[in-house]
Structure 1
Amino acid sequence: MYEQFNSQLLALGKNFADATVKAQGVTLEGFERIADLQIKSIESQVSAASAFWSEAAEVRDFDGAKAIWPKGVQLAKQSAEKLYSTGQEVIGVTLKTNEALGNLIKGSLEATNETVAKQVSAVKKAAAGK
């Protein structure tokens, strides 16, 4: 009896450990994708801002300021659009990661259920044979 109980606990522990390792991998993969998206977004924004400010530093009179004003507004607009776009991509990656974790948990529960059911049926057969 104790052997069967121990084997069930070991099987459940193994299933739990396997699911945890897989979940960690899926989660880290999602974090990597999100970090990559954000880093690329920051790089492009820094590049655009640097180009604008280097051009703005060369302005010496009012006409130059009037000429660069639309570029500043365009930079602000592009920055806001890029921020929104990156946010939407991050949400998409988060949803996909959560869906993968849900599928992993579902599969783990089904595998555990099958393992326990097999062991219970084996115990029933052994008890019926005695």
Structure 2
Amino acid sequence: MNKPFDSQMFAYARQFADNAFKAQALVLKGLEQTVGLQLAALEQHSHAAADFLLTAGEARDPEALRGLWDKGVALSRAQAEQGVALSQNLAAVGRQTVESLGAMVQPLTAANDAVAANAAAARKTSAR
């Protein structure tokens, strides 16, 4: 009498473990993409800052300093734009990961309902 219930619970537990493994892989993939985007942005920012510092080190007269001011403003604007683009890309990666995880949860919900229905039926049978 408990054999069908036990086999269904085992199947449910196995499905849960498989989906947990897949979910972990999805989250790690999203994390990898996020870190990759952030490292690329950090590399771009550091190259731009190093270029600015080299230019600042070579400034010897007031005209060069005026050009340095303009270059600093342009650098700040470019880095702000890159920051906005980075945050949009990170949000897209997060949204994609969440949508994938949501699609993975739907079959688990159906399996959970099936196990609950079978448990209720077994409870009624054993109560008789």
TM-score when scaled to structure 2? Answer: 0.84
**CA offset at residue 60 of structure 1?**
2.0
Aligned to 1:99: 99
**CA offset at residue 63 of structure 1?**
2.2
Matched, 1:20 2:26: no
* Distance in 2, Cα, partners of 1:74 & 1:50: 14
Structure 1: runs of 5+ lacking an equivalent:
none
Q: Tell me the secondary structure at the aligned position of residue 43 of structure 1.
A: helix
* Distance in 2, Cα, partners of 1:23 & 1:40: 26
What is the one-letter code of the residue matched to 1:70? D
Aligned to 1:73: 73
Matched, 1:57 2:57: yes
**CA offset at residue 5 of structure 1?**
2.3
Structure 2: runs of 5+ lacking an equivalent:
none
What is the one-letter code of the residue matched to 2:24? Q
**CA offset at residue 108 of structure 1?**
2.8
What is the one-letter code of the residue matched to 2:77? K
Aligned residues: 121
1:11 touches 1:115 (CA, 8 Å); kept in 2?
no
Q: Tell me the secondary structure at the aligned position of residue 59 of structure 2.
A: coil
**CA offset at residue 7 of structure 1?**
1.0
TM-score when scaled to structure 1? Answer: 0.83
Cα RMSD of the aligned pairs, angstroms, is: 2.2
Aligned to 1:34: 34
- Residues 73-97 of structure 1, C-alpha deviation per residue, up to 9 Å, x if partnerless? 0000000000010000000110010
Q: Tell me the secondary structure at the aligned position of residue 60 of structure 1.
A: coil
**CA offset at residue 115 of structure 1?**
6.3
**CA offset at residue 116 of structure 1?**
4.1
